[in-house]
Structure 1
Protein backbone atom coordinates (compact mmCIF):
# COMPACT_ATOMS: atom_id res chain seq x y z
CA UNK A 1 0.00 0.00 0.00
CA UNK A 2 2.89 2.33 0.78
CA UNK A 3 4.37 1.72 -2.69
CA UNK A 4 1.13 2.53 -4.54
CA UNK A 5 0.99 6.19 -3.53
CA UNK A 6 4.47 7.16 -4.80
CA UNK A 7 3.80 5.33 -8.08
CA UNK A 8 0.52 7.20 -8.59
CA UNK A 9 2.14 10.53 -7.71
CA UNK A 10 5.01 9.83 -10.14
CA UNK A 11 2.59 8.90 -12.94
CA UNK A 12 0.65 12.13 -12.36
CA UNK A 13 3.79 14.25 -12.51
CA UNK A 14 4.96 12.53 -15.72
CA UNK A 15 1.57 13.04 -17.40
CA UNK A 16 1.57 16.73 -16.43
CA UNK A 17 5.07 17.19 -17.87
CA UNK A 18 4.08 15.48 -21.11
CA UNK A 19 0.98 17.66 -21.42
CA UNK A 20 3.10 20.79 -20.83
CA UNK A 21 5.67 19.75 -23.46
CA UNK A 22 3.01 18.88 -26.03
CA UNK A 23 1.24 22.18 -25.43
CA UNK A 24 4.45 24.14 -26.03
CA UNK A 25 5.10 22.32 -29.33
CA UNK A 26 1.84 23.52 -30.92
CA UNK A 27 2.47 26.28 -33.47
CA UNK A 28 1.03 29.72 -32.95
CA UNK A 29 -0.97 29.49 -36.23
CA UNK A 30 -3.20 26.74 -34.87
CA UNK A 31 -4.58 29.15 -32.26
CA UNK A 32 -5.32 31.77 -34.88
CA UNK A 33 -7.17 29.25 -37.12
CA UNK A 34 -9.24 27.94 -34.22
CA UNK A 35 -11.70 30.89 -34.00
CA UNK A 36 -12.30 30.92 -37.77
CA UNK A 37 -12.91 27.18 -37.75
CA UNK A 38 -15.39 27.62 -34.92
CA UNK A 39 -17.22 30.36 -36.80
CA UNK A 40 -17.40 28.24 -39.95
CA UNK A 41 -18.68 25.31 -37.91
CA UNK A 42 -21.21 27.63 -36.34
CA UNK A 43 -22.29 28.93 -39.76
CA UNK A 44 -22.65 25.39 -41.11
CA UNK A 45 -24.62 24.41 -38.05
CA UNK A 46 -26.96 27.37 -38.48
CA UNK A 47 -27.46 26.55 -42.18
CA UNK A 48 -28.21 22.94 -41.34
CA UNK A 49 -30.65 24.01 -38.64
CA UNK A 50 -32.42 26.37 -41.06
CA UNK A 51 -32.57 23.63 -43.70
CA UNK A 52 -33.98 21.14 -41.19
CA UNK A 53 -36.47 23.69 -39.93
CA UNK A 54 -37.62 24.40 -43.50
CA UNK A 55 -37.90 20.68 -44.24
CA UNK A 56 -39.84 20.15 -41.02
CA UNK A 57 -42.28 22.94 -41.93
CA UNK A 58 -42.80 21.45 -45.40
CA UNK A 59 -43.46 18.00 -43.98
CA UNK A 60 -45.80 19.43 -41.37
CA UNK A 61 -47.74 21.32 -44.05
CA UNK A 62 -47.90 18.20 -46.21
CA UNK A 63 -49.17 16.09 -43.32
CA UNK A 64 -51.70 18.76 -42.39
CA UNK A 65 -53.06 18.89 -45.94
CA UNK A 66 -53.25 15.08 -46.10
CA UNK A 67 -55.05 15.05 -42.78
CA UNK A 68 -57.53 17.66 -44.03
CA UNK A 69 -58.20 15.60 -47.16
CA UNK A 70 -58.72 12.43 -45.14
CA UNK A 71 -61.00 14.29 -42.75
CA UNK A 72 -63.07 15.64 -45.65
CA UNK A 73 -63.32 12.15 -47.16
CA UNK A 74 -64.42 10.71 -43.84
CA UNK A 75 -67.02 13.43 -43.40
CA UNK A 76 -68.39 12.67 -46.87
CA UNK A 77 -68.48 8.97 -46.05
CA UNK A 78 -70.31 9.67 -42.81
CA UNK A 79 -72.83 11.88 -44.61
CA UNK A 80 -73.49 9.20 -47.23
CA UNK A 81 -73.88 6.59 -44.51
CA UNK A 82 -76.36 8.82 -42.70
CA UNK A 83 -78.35 9.16 -45.94
CA UNK A 84 -78.34 5.40 -46.44
CA UNK A 85 -79.42 4.86 -42.86
CA UNK A 86 -82.27 7.38 -43.24
CA UNK A 87 -83.37 5.67 -46.47
CA UNK A 88 -83.31 2.30 -44.79
CA UNK A 89 -85.32 3.65 -41.87
CA UNK A 90 -87.90 5.05 -44.28
CA UNK A 91 -88.08 1.75 -46.15
CA UNK A 92 -88.50 -0.12 -42.89
CA UNK A 93 -91.29 2.20 -41.78
CA UNK A 94 -92.99 1.87 -45.15
CA UNK A 95 -92.77 -1.90 -45.07
CA UNK A 96 -94.13 -2.00 -41.52
CA UNK A 97 -96.99 0.34 -42.40
CA UNK A 98 -97.62 -1.65 -45.61
CA UNK A 99 -97.81 -4.89 -43.63
CA UNK A 100 -100.18 -3.34 -41.10
CA UNK A 101 -102.52 -2.06 -43.82
CA UNK A 102 -102.30 -5.20 -45.95
CA UNK A 103 -105.11 -7.72 -45.63
CA UNK A 104 -104.36 -10.76 -43.50
CA UNK A 105 -104.56 -13.19 -46.38
CA UNK A 106 -102.34 -16.22 -45.92
CA UNK A 107 -102.73 -17.26 -49.54
CA UNK A 108 -100.69 -14.28 -50.79
CA UNK A 109 -97.02 -15.03 -51.10
CA UNK A 110 -94.67 -12.07 -51.20
CA UNK A 111 -92.21 -12.00 -54.07
CA UNK A 112 -88.86 -13.39 -52.96
CA UNK A 113 -87.00 -11.89 -55.90
CA UNK A 114 -86.32 -8.64 -54.04
CA UNK A 115 -84.92 -10.50 -51.05
CA UNK A 116 -82.82 -12.67 -53.33
CA UNK A 117 -81.51 -9.62 -55.20
CA UNK A 118 -80.43 -7.99 -51.96
CA UNK A 119 -78.79 -11.24 -50.79
CA UNK A 120 -77.01 -11.73 -54.11
CA UNK A 121 -75.66 -8.17 -54.06
CA UNK A 122 -74.38 -8.67 -50.52
CA UNK A 123 -72.73 -11.96 -51.51
CA UNK A 124 -71.13 -10.47 -54.59
CA UNK A 125 -69.75 -7.60 -52.53
CA UNK A 126 -68.43 -10.05 -49.95
CA UNK A 127 -66.75 -12.19 -52.63
CA UNK A 128 -65.25 -9.11 -54.25
CA UNK A 129 -63.86 -8.00 -50.90
CA UNK A 130 -62.35 -11.46 -50.31
CA UNK A 131 -60.51 -11.32 -53.64
CA UNK A 132 -59.35 -7.74 -53.03
CA UNK A 133 -57.86 -8.68 -49.68
CA UNK A 134 -56.25 -11.72 -51.27
CA UNK A 135 -54.63 -9.50 -53.92
CA UNK A 136 -53.30 -7.30 -51.13
CA UNK A 137 -51.38 -10.35 -49.95
CA UNK A 138 -53.41 -11.29 -46.90
CA UNK A 139 -53.62 -14.94 -45.89
CA UNK A 140 -57.00 -16.70 -45.71
CA UNK A 141 -56.85 -16.53 -41.90
CA UNK A 142 -56.31 -12.76 -41.97
CA UNK A 143 -59.09 -12.33 -44.56
CA UNK A 144 -61.49 -14.35 -42.39
CA UNK A 145 -60.59 -12.29 -39.35
CA UNK A 146 -61.07 -8.96 -41.20
CA UNK A 147 -64.43 -9.94 -42.66
CA UNK A 148 -65.71 -11.68 -39.55
CA UNK A 149 -66.12 -14.94 -41.45
CA UNK A 150 -64.90 -18.45 -40.89
CA UNK A 151 -61.73 -19.80 -42.46
CA UNK A 152 -63.80 -22.55 -44.11
CA UNK A 153 -66.02 -19.98 -45.83
CA UNK A 154 -62.98 -18.18 -47.25
CA UNK A 155 -61.49 -21.47 -48.46
CA UNK A 156 -64.82 -22.40 -50.04
CA UNK A 157 -64.99 -19.07 -51.88
CA UNK A 158 -61.50 -19.62 -53.28
CA UNK A 159 -62.15 -23.21 -54.25
CA UNK A 160 -65.44 -22.45 -56.01
CA UNK A 161 -64.23 -19.41 -57.89
CA UNK A 162 -62.35 -20.05 -61.09
CA UNK A 163 -59.56 -17.75 -62.22
CA UNK A 164 -61.86 -15.78 -64.49
CA UNK A 165 -64.10 -14.80 -61.57
CA UNK A 166 -61.15 -13.78 -59.45
CA UNK A 167 -60.08 -11.38 -62.18
CA UNK A 168 -63.56 -9.82 -62.26
CA UNK A 169 -63.20 -8.75 -58.63
CA UNK A 170 -61.50 -5.57 -59.85
CA UNK A 171 -64.44 -4.53 -62.01
Structure 2
Protein backbone atom coordinates (compact mmCIF):
# COMPACT_ATOMS: atom_id res chain seq x y z
CA UNK A 1 0.00 0.00 0.00
CA UNK A 2 2.89 2.25 0.56
CA UNK A 3 3.75 1.76 -3.03
CA UNK A 4 0.33 2.89 -4.07
CA UNK A 5 0.80 6.11 -2.09
CA UNK A 6 4.19 6.62 -3.64
CA UNK A 7 2.75 6.10 -7.14
CA UNK A 8 -0.07 8.52 -6.41
CA UNK A 9 2.32 11.13 -5.02
CA UNK A 10 4.63 10.68 -8.06
CA UNK A 11 1.69 10.99 -10.42
CA UNK A 12 0.56 14.12 -8.58
CA UNK A 13 4.00 15.69 -8.87
CA UNK A 14 4.17 14.87 -12.59
CA UNK A 15 0.72 16.40 -13.06
CA UNK A 16 1.79 19.57 -11.28
CA UNK A 17 4.91 19.84 -13.39
CA UNK A 18 2.85 19.34 -16.56
CA UNK A 19 0.35 21.92 -15.43
CA UNK A 20 3.18 24.33 -14.67
CA UNK A 21 4.74 23.86 -18.11
CA UNK A 22 1.40 24.11 -19.87
CA UNK A 23 0.58 27.24 -17.95
CA UNK A 24 3.87 28.75 -19.02
CA UNK A 25 3.29 27.84 -22.66
CA UNK A 26 -0.23 29.20 -22.73
CA UNK A 27 0.80 32.80 -22.04
CA UNK A 28 3.48 32.51 -24.72
CA UNK A 29 0.91 31.17 -27.17
CA UNK A 30 -1.45 33.95 -26.17
CA UNK A 31 1.28 36.53 -26.78
CA UNK A 32 2.14 34.93 -30.11
CA UNK A 33 -1.54 34.78 -31.03
CA UNK A 34 -2.01 38.43 -30.04
CA UNK A 35 1.07 39.43 -32.08
CA UNK A 36 -0.21 37.48 -35.07
CA UNK A 37 -3.61 39.15 -34.78
CA UNK A 38 -1.98 42.55 -34.74
CA UNK A 39 0.12 41.59 -37.77
CA UNK A 40 -2.97 40.33 -39.62
CA UNK A 41 -4.82 43.51 -38.72
CA UNK A 42 -1.94 45.67 -40.02
CA UNK A 43 -1.76 43.66 -43.26
CA UNK A 44 -5.52 43.92 -43.70
CA UNK A 45 -5.38 47.69 -43.21
CA UNK A 46 -2.55 47.96 -45.75
CA UNK A 47 -4.53 45.85 -48.22
CA UNK A 48 -7.60 48.03 -47.72
CA UNK A 49 -5.52 51.17 -48.25
CA UNK A 50 -4.06 49.73 -51.48
CA UNK A 51 -7.54 48.71 -52.64
CA UNK A 52 -8.91 52.15 -51.84
CA UNK A 53 -6.04 53.77 -53.74
CA UNK A 54 -6.70 51.52 -56.77
CA UNK A 55 -10.41 52.38 -56.68
CA UNK A 56 -9.60 56.09 -56.63
CA UNK A 57 -7.22 55.69 -59.58
CA UNK A 58 -9.77 53.69 -61.59
CA UNK A 59 -12.50 56.22 -60.81
CA UNK A 60 -10.20 59.01 -61.99
CA UNK A 61 -9.44 57.11 -65.23
CA UNK A 62 -13.11 56.34 -65.86
CA UNK A 63 -14.05 59.94 -65.18
CA UNK A 64 -11.43 61.16 -67.67
CA UNK A 65 -12.65 58.67 -70.30
CA UNK A 66 -16.23 59.73 -69.68
CA UNK A 67 -15.36 63.40 -70.10
CA UNK A 68 -13.50 62.64 -73.33
CA UNK A 69 -16.39 60.57 -74.69
CA UNK A 70 -18.87 63.28 -73.73
CA UNK A 71 -16.77 65.92 -75.52
CA UNK A 72 -16.58 63.70 -78.63
CA UNK A 73 -20.35 63.16 -78.62
CA UNK A 74 -21.04 66.87 -78.23
CA UNK A 75 -18.72 67.57 -81.17
CA UNK A 76 -20.50 64.95 -83.30
CA UNK A 77 -23.91 66.34 -82.36
CA UNK A 78 -22.81 69.82 -83.37
CA UNK A 79 -21.42 68.47 -86.66
CA UNK A 80 -24.66 66.60 -87.39
CA UNK A 81 -26.77 69.68 -86.63
CA UNK A 82 -24.72 71.68 -89.14
CA UNK A 83 -25.06 68.89 -91.70
CA UNK A 84 -28.85 68.79 -91.22
CA UNK A 85 -29.02 72.56 -91.71
CA UNK A 86 -27.01 72.26 -94.94
CA UNK A 87 -29.24 69.46 -96.22
CA UNK A 88 -32.39 71.43 -95.36
CA UNK A 89 -30.99 74.43 -97.22
CA UNK A 90 -30.18 72.27 -100.26
CA UNK A 91 -33.66 70.73 -100.06
CA UNK A 92 -35.29 74.14 -99.99
CA UNK A 93 -33.15 75.33 -102.93
CA UNK A 94 -34.08 72.28 -105.02
CA UNK A 95 -37.74 72.62 -104.09
CA UNK A 96 -37.60 76.24 -105.26
CA UNK A 97 -35.89 75.16 -108.50
CA UNK A 98 -38.53 72.48 -109.05
CA UNK A 99 -41.29 75.00 -108.42
CA UNK A 100 -39.67 77.37 -110.89
CA UNK A 101 -39.41 74.58 -113.47
CA UNK A 102 -43.06 73.61 -112.99
CA UNK A 103 -44.21 77.19 -113.40
CA UNK A 104 -42.00 77.53 -116.51
CA UNK A 105 -43.59 74.39 -118.00
CA UNK A 106 -47.03 75.75 -117.31
CA UNK A 107 -46.15 78.97 -119.16
CA UNK A 108 -44.96 77.01 -122.24
CA UNK A 109 -47.57 76.62 -124.92
CA UNK A 110 -48.95 73.10 -125.10
CA UNK A 111 -48.84 73.06 -128.86
CA UNK A 112 -46.51 70.83 -130.82
CA UNK A 113 -43.93 68.77 -129.03
CA UNK A 114 -40.28 69.47 -129.69
CA UNK A 115 -38.75 67.44 -132.49
CA UNK A 116 -36.71 65.28 -130.11
CA UNK A 117 -39.80 64.11 -128.25
CA UNK A 118 -41.51 63.33 -131.58
CA UNK A 119 -38.62 61.09 -132.56
CA UNK A 120 -38.72 59.31 -129.18
CA UNK A 121 -42.45 58.72 -129.42
CA UNK A 122 -42.10 57.32 -132.93
CA UNK A 123 -39.31 55.00 -131.80
CA UNK A 124 -41.45 53.78 -128.88
CA UNK A 125 -44.46 53.17 -131.09
CA UNK A 126 -42.31 51.23 -133.55
CA UNK A 127 -40.85 49.16 -130.68
CA UNK A 128 -44.34 48.40 -129.31
CA UNK A 129 -45.57 47.46 -132.78
CA UNK A 130 -42.61 45.12 -133.20
CA UNK A 131 -43.29 43.47 -129.79
CA UNK A 132 -46.91 42.73 -130.72
CA UNK A 133 -45.91 41.55 -134.18
CA UNK A 134 -43.43 39.03 -132.71
CA UNK A 135 -46.04 37.95 -130.18
CA UNK A 136 -48.54 37.22 -132.99
CA UNK A 137 -45.84 35.07 -134.62
CA UNK A 138 -45.95 32.93 -131.47
CA UNK A 139 -42.70 33.95 -129.79
CA UNK A 140 -42.50 33.87 -125.99
CA UNK A 141 -41.72 37.06 -124.02
CA UNK A 142 -38.17 35.77 -123.39
CA UNK A 143 -37.59 35.23 -127.14
CA UNK A 144 -39.06 38.66 -127.96
CA UNK A 145 -36.74 40.29 -125.39
CA UNK A 146 -33.72 38.55 -126.91
CA UNK A 147 -34.63 39.54 -130.47
CA UNK A 148 -35.23 43.18 -129.60
CA UNK A 149 -32.33 43.46 -127.15
CA UNK A 150 -34.71 44.46 -124.38
CA UNK A 151 -35.27 43.20 -120.86
CA UNK A 152 -37.94 40.65 -120.01
CA UNK A 153 -39.47 43.16 -117.58
CA UNK A 154 -39.91 45.75 -120.34
CA UNK A 155 -41.72 43.22 -122.55
CA UNK A 156 -43.99 42.17 -119.66
CA UNK A 157 -44.74 45.84 -118.95
CA UNK A 158 -45.73 46.46 -122.56
CA UNK A 159 -48.14 43.51 -122.50
CA UNK A 160 -49.58 44.58 -119.13
CA UNK A 161 -50.15 48.16 -120.30
CA UNK A 162 -51.76 46.91 -123.50
CA UNK A 163 -54.14 44.66 -121.53
CA UNK A 164 -55.14 47.55 -119.25
CA UNK A 165 -55.70 49.77 -122.30
CA UNK A 166 -57.88 47.12 -123.98
CA UNK A 167 -59.93 46.70 -120.79
CA UNK A 168 -60.36 50.48 -120.60
CA UNK A 169 -61.58 50.62 -124.21
CA UNK A 170 -63.97 47.72 -123.64
CA UNK A 171 -65.48 49.46 -120.59
CA UNK A 172 -66.09 52.67 -122.54
TM-score range, shorter chain: 0.3 to 0.5
Higher helix share: 2
Q: TM-score, normalised by structure 2?
A: 0.45
**Higher RCO (Cα < 8 Å, 6 or more apart):** 1
Q: TM-score, normalised by structure 1?
A: 0.45
